[in-house]
Amino acid sequence: MKFYKSVLTTLLFLTFSVQANQAVEQWAAFAAQTKAPQHAKWLEAISDPRAIKLAERWKALRGFDAYDAIEKYTIPAELKPGLVLNKENINQYPWLKDYLPRDYLNSLSSGNGFVREIKIIPTSIYYMNEGVLNATLALQGKGLTPTTDEHSTLVNPDGSATLLNDETAGAIPYLNPKDGLELNWSFIAHGVGTETLIFDPMISNSCDDKGNLDVQYTGLIWWQKFHGRQTIEPLGSIDDKDDLIEGGSLFVVSPNDVSGIAAVRQRAARGNKTDDFRIFIPSMRRTRILSGNDAQDPMYYGLEVTWDDWRAYWAKTDLNTFEYKMLGERLILSSPETGYIYRSAEMNESQCAWNNMEMELRPVWVLEVTDKVGKYQYKTRTIYIDQETYYAQFQEMSDMRGEPYRTWDDSRSWRPFDGDAQWDHITIHNEFNNRLNIITVTPDWDDRGEKVTEEYFDVDQLRDM
């Protein structure tokens, strides 16, 4: 009875005071069908007048939302909210290969893969925070169209680095990218979906090829955007970061053999300058300065995540080393961003698989980043970039021979009322040796501007905190 009252209240509110978008309408019907408390809470969150207003403003800026994009396609009648996919029925839907990534298809088909069941939920409408919206509006209002210079740096017409200039650093440079390079830059500009990020804690399960837990790591992560800050203090630019776009820091808490590892990587804006990348290794009692080659190493033993995969994708944009090609646009099934309200996947007791996982239909651009010189860890990285958020919905990496290697899927902790985002859970699978990492995150939202200070981006201070 309480559930029905909640849904009815939401629908009445929308009828009389706010013009609901299609996501709200679809979720209202779905929540009434499932009667699940978490779905009712998500409906309530996306029905918030602040959420609907921000969604409308982003649609006006982009010229479309997810439902407009999806309407361009003919979708199988069976592909609708409520559909459950598992080993028993997956062969009944031959069209799934056009929507569900290969790695998930293989996992479901095996029956004992890293995901055992998938349930389709309604598509949500996503967007970024008001600061990014206002910065992008300002960029367009001034008619500024960034370009890529001979050093693989994104620059404004006046020669200033787009991601360092406070007037342009907070914006999405290409709302409707025309090629792979523009798409890459909009993905880079998205950053981590917020201006200051805190994971407290981040738990990483490293699993062997038989689905057994090898080791569980616990750590803390901080992240900060250095320029064009509009929503979290300090606003504008962070002091003494004139050449750096953003920084991430990591401190490992457990187990004992890696406890105390501290790492700081700060992205240089100019393509001909290396990132400031340092890691303190307790067993050696010294700090190492790492290069771009070192960034291809695993973050630490047992992890499939390399330093260039940290933050989903942190390789330097370099036209001499990589080719950036847009393969087109399509629809894929991918993890939703419901983590602020509820976790969209349930972990198996082994801690090395998902018993069930929700997925929604998303419109994406497909970006292929290809190694041109044969020295990178991946021959290709294929990134399915969401057309509403400019963030990766899914990634597939091939090894240097071009064979399937790793996949990356994550689900965000996204707040409908203000469009801010952190992470909730991440799944990284090695298709070659069947090793798996499942990472779960508890984001800290409160007083982030006060909690994250310059000490977090000095590895010699971070290691002693």
Over residues 3-19, the mean pLDDT reads: 50
Structure tokens belonging to residue 29 = 């019907």
> What SS3 state is found at 31?
helix
Instruction: Find the Cα–Cα–Cα–Cα dihedral 248, 252, 258, 263, rounded to 10°.
Output: 20
Over residues 163-176, the mean pLDDT reads: 97
Mean pLDDT of the chain: 94
Looking at residue 191, its pLDDT comes to: 93
Q: Output the CA–CA distances (angstroms, integers) from residue 197 to 201, 240, 449, in the order listed.
A: 12, 19, 9
Looking at residue 22, its pLDDT comes to: 97
Separation CA 427–CA 421 (nearest Å): 18
276: confidence class by pLDDT, cuts 50, 70, 90? very high
Strand partners, 147: 155
> Under 8 Å CB-to-CB from 124, ≥6 apart: which residues?
23, 27, 42, 46, 66, 336, 337, 338, 360
Looking at residue 17, its pLDDT comes to: 46
53: confidence class by pLDDT, cuts 50, 70, 90? very high
Residue 211's H or E segment, with its range, is none
Over residues 24-37, the mean pLDDT reads: 98
16: confidence class by pLDDT, cuts 50, 70, 90? very low
- Left if phi > 0, otherwise alpha if psi is -120 to 50, otherwise beta: which for 136? alpha
Domain boundaries, the chain: 2-69
9: pLDDT strictly greater than 60: no
Looking at residue 301, its pLDDT comes to: 81
- Of 414, 335, 356, 347, the closest CA to residue 205 belongs to 347
Over residues 312-321, the mean pLDDT reads: 92
Tell me the residue ranges of DSSP E strands in 101-158. 118-120, 147-148, 154-155
Looking at residue 5, its pLDDT comes to: 53
pLDDT digits (tens, 9 = 90+) for 57-74: 999 999 999 999 999 999
Provide the 8-state DSSP code for 302: T
Separation CA 410–CA 338 (nearest Å): 11
Q: Output the CA–CA distances (angstroms, integers) from residue 445 to 134, 232, 413, 414, 435, in the order listed.
A: 22, 11, 10, 11, 32
* Amino acid letter for position 418: D
270: pLDDT strictly greater than 60: yes
pTM for this predicted structure: 0.95
Looking at residue 15, its pLDDT comes to: 42
- Of 285, 267, 59, 12, the closest CA to residue 163 belongs to 267
Looking at residue 310, its pLDDT comes to: 87
445: confidence class by pLDDT, cuts 50, 70, 90? very high
Give percent above pLDDT 90 in the chain.
Answer: 88
Over residues 18-43, the mean pLDDT reads: 94
Over residues 309-316, the mean pLDDT reads: 89
Separation CA 325–CA 347 (nearest Å): 36
